[in-house]
């Protein structure tokens, strides 16, 4: 990744509060879309009519109400890895893809271990959250890509033919690096996507999702954010499927009232480009967050993936207070999600007060060890 980005201007109180609301909104929104879609995926009933119960209120999946899938789990570990990258920079280590990969390996351990190993203090606090030790529909590409310690790179990606949507669904947190330039954001998301997905469609869609979140988190409209993503993608080999899908989504906005059939047309084969396009469309045409998320999960494709991506976009755009409170209160892992979101916000706005050459908070380093 080269040298770390230079520090942004000093954050005022209003800017910090707005940023924290968008970080919370991104993580909670992604989790809400995930949990709304999970019952549809689990029952293979994604073509349920929008008036039905599923998708209008939280219903059970994986044995409980409000359950999230591997998409949310990995999004949280993405945030954990990004914080660890900032902390480890003090020790002269700066390679965020490595830190994010280590975080993904900690997630992979939750899929095979019975519970957290309290002796492994270097794992940090997130890996000790017992509720994360649940198998929630993780795709084979994730388990294979993270099945050993070898890190995928652009030169040697894991699962080089896999164009699935899983890397897209975990990539919103890269967009919350609002002090970075968009070119660096998309590059980091791409480099971390190839830890599990090596097809250009998959890693470029992940990069596009990140840079769209980045633009709206900095105050751009969603339409302008998509246009920025299209401009950045145009210079990258293999971009055509992703750019075509996003342009299709923008065109669909002008084709009348949104329907499940139109969302399914955008989803296409259910791979990365289609999931991103459908999520962008639903975020653009939704009358509010609730309507956008209902659209995102009611179709015959991967409901949790589209819902997760759409929810992250809407949360970054509007902040946490726009999310339906009756859904949030039943969301699995909400205390953890909020705690992690606030930690990320503090790290990005007040990192030097938490760790640095002049001194560090022992409590912060216990949560995010430099090891």
Binding site per annotation, positions: 75
Contact 271, 202 (CB under 8 A): yes
DSSP letter at 54?
B
Pairing of strands 64-65, 60-61: antiparallel
Question: Among candidates 237, 214, 212, which has minimal Cα distance to 226?
Answer: 212
Chain mean position to CA 171: 4
Residue 288 DSSP SS3: coil
Categorise residue 325: left if φ over 0, alpha if ψ from -120 to 50, beta otherwise.
alpha
Q: How far apart are CA 81 and CA 77, in angstroms?
A: 6
25: Cβ–Cβ under 8 A, 6 or more apart, which residues? 314, 315, 316, 317, 318, 319, 320, 321, 322, 323
Ramachandran bin of 113, using left for φ above 0, alpha for ψ from -120 to 50, beta for the remaining angles:
beta
Count of other CB atoms within 10 angstroms of residue 143: 15
- Is residue 87 within 8 A of residue 365, CB to CB? The reply is yes
CA angle 305, 308, 309 (to 5 degrees): 90
Q: Among 179, 204, 217, which Cα is nearest to 316's?
A: 217
Handedness of CA 245, 247, 252, 253 (dihedral sign): positive
Distance CA 281, CA 295 (A): 9
Going by the annotation, the residues of the binding site for Mg(2+) are 75
Q: Count other Cβ atoms within 10 Å, centred on residue 261.
A: 10
Residues 6+ apart with CB under 8 A from 355: 87, 90, 361, 364, 365
Count of CB atoms situated within 10 Å of the CB of 360: 15
Number of residues that this document lists for the chain: 371
- C-beta separation of 313 from 281 below 8 A: no
Is the separation of the CB atoms in 193 and 99 below 8 Å? no
């Amino acid at each position: 990744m080269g040298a770390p980005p230079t520090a942004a201007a000093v954050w005022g109180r209003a800017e910090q509060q707005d940023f924290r609301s968008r970080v919370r909104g991104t993580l909670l929104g992604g989790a809400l879309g995930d949990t709304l879609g999970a019952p549809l995926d689990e029952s293979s009933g994604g073509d349920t009519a929008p008036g039905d119960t599923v998708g209008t209120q939280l219903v059970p999946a994986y044995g409980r109400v409000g359950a999230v899938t591997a998409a949310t789990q990995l999004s949280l570990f993405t945030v954990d890895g990004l914080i660890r990258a900032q902390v480890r920079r003090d020790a002269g280590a700066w390679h965020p893809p490595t830190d994010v990969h280590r975080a993904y390996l900690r997630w992979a351990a939750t899929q095979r271990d019975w519970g957290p190993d309290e002796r492994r203090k270097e794992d940090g606090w997130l890996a000790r959250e017992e509720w994360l030790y649940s198998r929630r529909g993780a795709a084979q590409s994730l388990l294979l890509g993270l099945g050993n310690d070898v890190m995928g790179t652009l030169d040697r990606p894991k699962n080089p033919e896999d164009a699935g949507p899983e890397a897209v669904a975990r990539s919103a947190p890269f967009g919350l690096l609002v002090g970075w330039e968009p070119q660096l954001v998309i590059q980091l998301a791409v480099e971390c996507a190839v830890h599990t997905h090596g097809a250009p469609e998959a890693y470029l869609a992940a990069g596009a999702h990140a840079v769209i979140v980045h633009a709206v988190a900095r105050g751009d409209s969603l339409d302008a954010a998509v246009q920025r993503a299209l401009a950045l993608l145009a210079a990258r080999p293999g971009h055509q499927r992703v750019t075509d899908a996003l342009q299709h989504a923008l065109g669909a906005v002008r084709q009348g009232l949104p329907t499940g059939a139109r969302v399914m047309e955008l989803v296409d084969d259910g791979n990365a480009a289609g999931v991103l396009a459908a999520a962008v469309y639903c975020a653009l045409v939704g009358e509010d967050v609730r309507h956008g998320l209902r659209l995102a999960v009611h179709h015959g494709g991967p409901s949790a993936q589209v819902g997760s991506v759409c929810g992250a976009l809407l949360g970054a755009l509007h902040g946490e207070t726009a999310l339906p409170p009756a859904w949030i209160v039943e969301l699995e892992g909400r205390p953890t999600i909020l705690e992690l979101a606030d930690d990320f916000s503090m790290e990005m706005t007040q990192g030097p007060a938490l760790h640095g050459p002049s001194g560090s908070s022992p409590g912060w380093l216990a949560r995010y060890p430099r090891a």
